[in-house]
Amino acid sequence: MLMKNILSQDSTSLSFEFFPPKTPHGWEKLFENIAELAPRKPSSVSVTYGAGGTTRTQTNELVLRIHRETGITVVPHQTCVGATTAEVQAILTEYQQAGIKNVLALRGDKPQNDANWHAPADGFEHAIDLVRFIRHKFPHMSIGVAGFPEGHPEMPNRLLEIEYLKQKVDAGADYIVTQLFFDNHDFYDFCQRCELAGIHVPIIAGVMPLRSRQGMARMAELAAGARFPAALLSQVYSAANEQEVERIGIDWATEQVCDLLANKVRGVHFYTLNSAAATNEIFARLGLDR
């Protein structure tokens, strides 16, 4: 089903994100977790693309396997850093022939330690170039793009950031999926600024339950960063062990989702880290079984 049609329905879209594992055991564990989450009847699941396209083959395999074996609507990530138009066209043609009708169009992370990096002559410089290409070559696909409630890491000018996002929507994007955030006020403010800029497509809120102090440190180091509210930090710093940190993370995310649903957001996207446990618990607490 097309994401733009899913998001036009009255009910809030609830979706999950997975990434390609690096080992055979990881693949086995991932599908065990997908099997656990499938009864939750998500509106869709997405599959990430490694930095610089490093997991291209694994992403394609995972997308096609989920599509074949579960029947759940799959939204593959498609980055354009380092990719040629021919490579992207070949991948999306394979998806289209398999019956996959959605894609999340992203620039992707530039190669590290290469300050002079430029896109290949037959490639894409920015995500908007990828959006235009997909809309032209695959006009029937539903296209999503990324949004950053806490600000894009490479764009300190917040006015230009929203203007560039509007340009992607005007180029053919049907909806926006946000990076993770821990303060819902950041998300609501982002939505209001989009509205003021003339962006009227559905915006899906990205939520990731905190699972450990180490995980918190990794989130802070990511290119997009993550802002941790003082109230959350206070609880994490006071936790006696990692099990308590995980409980705090699930509690916090549950409150976030409860508030988002009360405010009738168009969708909530769960960054699962390939584990069913936290997402399952949030669904159970909030009675989200469909």
Q: How far apart are the first and last CA of the chain?
A: 17
Q: What is the pTM of this model?
A: 0.93
User: DSSP state, 272?
Assistant: -
Backbone CA torsion sign across 170, 49, 271, 111? negative
Kindly give, in sequence order, each residue whose CB lies less than 8 Å from that of residue 34, ignoring residues fewer than 6 positions away.
Answer: 18, 45, 66, 70, 276
Residue 36 bears catalytic tag: no
User: DSSP state, 196?
Assistant: H
Dihedral in degrees, nearest 10, Cα atoms 276, 278, 281, 282: -110
Task: Please say whether the beta carbons of 97 and 128 come within 8 A.
Answer: no
- pLDDT tens per residue, range 157-213: 888 999 999 999 999 999 999 999 999 999 999 999 999 999 999 999 999 999 999
Q: Which two tokens stand for residue 57?
A: 């083959």
| Per-residue model confidence (pLDDT) at position 117 | 65
Write the CA distances from 159 to 151, 155, 168, 181, 209, integer angstroms. Answer: 10, 9, 15, 20, 29
CB atoms within 10 A of CB 169: 21
Domains of the chain: 3-284 (3.20.20.220)
Low-confidence ranges of the chain (pLDDT < 50): none
Residue-level length of the chain: 290
- Nearest of 133, 146, 52 to residue 86 by alpha carbon: 133
| Per-residue model confidence (pLDDT) at position 58 | 82
Write the CA distances from 234 to 134, 181, 217, 244, integer angstroms. Answer: 45, 17, 15, 13
Task: Please say whether the beta carbons of 230 and 242 come within 8 A.
Answer: no
Residue carrying structure tokens 């996959």: 100
Please compute, for residue 235, the number of CA atoms within 13 A of its CA located in the half-sphere on the CB side. Answer: 18
Q: Which of 17, 150, 161, 246 is catalytic?
A: 17
Beta strand extents in the chain (DSSP E only):
13-18, 44-47, 74-79, 102-106, 142-147, 175-180, 203-207, 267-271
Task: Please say whether the beta carbons of 27 and 283 come within 8 A.
Answer: no
CB atoms within 10 A of CB 264: 8
13-42 burial, b at 16+ Cβ within 10 Å, e below that, comes to: bbbbbbbbbeeeeebeebbebbeebbebeb
| Per-residue model confidence (pLDDT) at position 50 | 62
